[in-house]
Amino acid sequence: MRVVITQLAATAHLNLMVPIGWALRAAGHEVVVAAQPDIMPAVRQTGLVGVPVGEEARYAEKLAELAPEETIYGSGYDIAELRPEVLTYEYVRDCLAAFASPLALDVNTDESVYDGLVSYCRWWRPDLVIWDSMTFTGPVAAAACGAAHVRTTIGRDHWGRMRELFLKLRAERPDAGDEDPVRDWLSLKLAKYGAAYSEDLILGQTTIDSMPALLRLPSGHGHLSVRYVAYNGPGTVPDWLLEPVPELPRVCMTLGNSFHEVRDGRAAIGFADLFEAVTDLDIELVMLVDPSVIPAGTEVPDNVRIPGFVPLDHLLKSCSAIIHHGGTGTTATAVLNGVPQLIVPHALFDERPLADVIQDNGLGVHLPPEHLSVESLRTELQRILTDPAFTWRADEARKDVENSPSPHDLVKSLEELVHRHRGAAAPVPTA
């Protein structure tokens, strides 16, 4: 079968999709990754075929040009909000409306991307479209060309949770009628291509969830569980990583791809504070950052190594702990390798709630940026390294991941979904 994978132009999102693409290719299916031009260099490095659609995304530049109130981050709404007292009908409705608007989803992928992907899919005629849950170009293109379509979670499924909660709360409010800001937003996009709205265009005909089970949110909609497989981009394992593991504990520190691509080099952890916190500790700190981002004149301690890019999955196998920003891929890769985590979260999507889950399960510590100091960073890192309970719980979580279905197992489910869709397919719009 022919498969289109599409996601917004962020390397972290692409990396989560790559193992699915590999599994489909290994099973003999044709696979292309269709997304904005600025992600194509990263697509080429995966070994998958890329198709550029629409104009470049330029996320960091766009966010830097906008006032906070012109972005989702200044809207007052948080898709990862979990407090019951906040989640009123009005809040949930307006939160979804804020995301389905120029504040968020329309920044991710503009009209040029919809046009480009629909045009390509009508030409190539894929059997299946697999789409990133943070952009709706995929379901629109699938509806326009008659393909089956499957959503993938890019982290924990807060969008699905909020959608389910909205429908539940609306049913309890007779005065709400049938108001639905997401349906109305999506219907306008579909109408441009002669396609009709259906509810599965919001949450997919099913959802692929590759998050480790202990990190997932409860869900009432259909999903396919698949083992998280780490893909951190192409790289070469350096000679020093092939040497015996040092006697001193090795600690990894990373700020993820979003440090550059979305946050434009802004981080909660200052390099000077980090260096002061670790300089007198008996550890080896390996920082996965570009050495050029270290401010000129900053004194780097002797126990800090800054090698540039090293594949995270390979590095963590020699590490006793990791300090990071709470991104999905980094968090899941640490769980996959059984490494305790010290998370100082960014504030992009789900980093703080995800850090809470890591802490609640005994896999690490959540250190909020407002509580961050040289002393707190040093204290919490030492606690993770000296308390064996963190290592034990992290290893138990690793075993759970290893026992979950692989991407190879997922392929059969996707083939069956396409077969069912073909049997029930409606006429395909052509205008």
**Predicted confidence (pLDDT) per residue in 187-202, tens digit:** 999 999 999 999 999 9
The tokens describing 390, both together, are 């963190």
Of 142-151, 229-238, 326-335, give the lowest mean pLDDT range: 229-238
Instruction: Specify whether the CB–CB gap between 89 and 169 falls below 8 A.
Output: yes
Is the pTM for the entire model greater than 0.85? yes
Instruction: Specify whether the CB–CB gap between 286 and 252 falls below 8 A.
Output: yes
Residue 263 confidence (pLDDT):
44
Percent of the chain with pLDDT over 90: 72
Contacts with 100 (C-beta within 8 Å, 6 or more apart), sequence order: 181, 182, 185, 186
The mean pLDDT value for 53-63 works out to 85
The maximal CA–CA distance of the chain, rounded, in angstroms, is: 69
Residue 154 confidence (pLDDT):
86
**Predicted confidence (pLDDT) per residue in 96-105, tens digit:** 999 999 888 8
Of 27-41, 59-73, 133-147, 219-233, give the lowest mean pLDDT range: 59-73
As a whole number, the mean pLDDT across the chain is 91
For residues 221 and 157, give the distance between their C-alpha atoms in angstroms, rounded to a whole number: 11
For residues 25 and 407, give the distance between their C-alpha atoms in angstroms, rounded to a whole number: 11
Residue 286 confidence (pLDDT):
95
What structural domains and CATH numbers belong to the chain?
2-227+404-424 (3.40.50.2000), 239-402 (3.40.50.2000)
Q: Crossing angle, helix 374-386 and helix 271-278, to 10 degrees?
A: 50
**Predicted confidence (pLDDT) per residue in 66-99, tens digit:** 777 778 778 889 999 999 999 999 999 999 999 9
Give residue 262's pLDDT band: very low, low, confident or very high (50, 70, 90). Answer: very low
Instruction: Specify whether the CB–CB gap between 70 and 76 falls below 8 A.
Output: no
Q: Crossing angle, helix 181-191 and helix 137-145, to 10 degrees?
A: 50
Burial class of residue 73 (count of CB atoms within 10 Å of its CB; 0-12, 13-18, 19+): middle
The mean pLDDT value for 340-351 works out to 88
Residue 257 confidence (pLDDT):
63
For residues 328 and 354, give the distance between their C-alpha atoms in angstroms, rounded to a whole number: 8
pLDDT at 424 over 90: no
pLDDT at 261 over 50: no
pLDDT at 431 over 50: yes
Give residue 218's pLDDT band: very low, low, confident or very high (50, 70, 90). Answer: confident
Give residue 264's pLDDT band: very low, low, confident or very high (50, 70, 90). Answer: very low
* Structure-token match 């530049």, residue found: 61
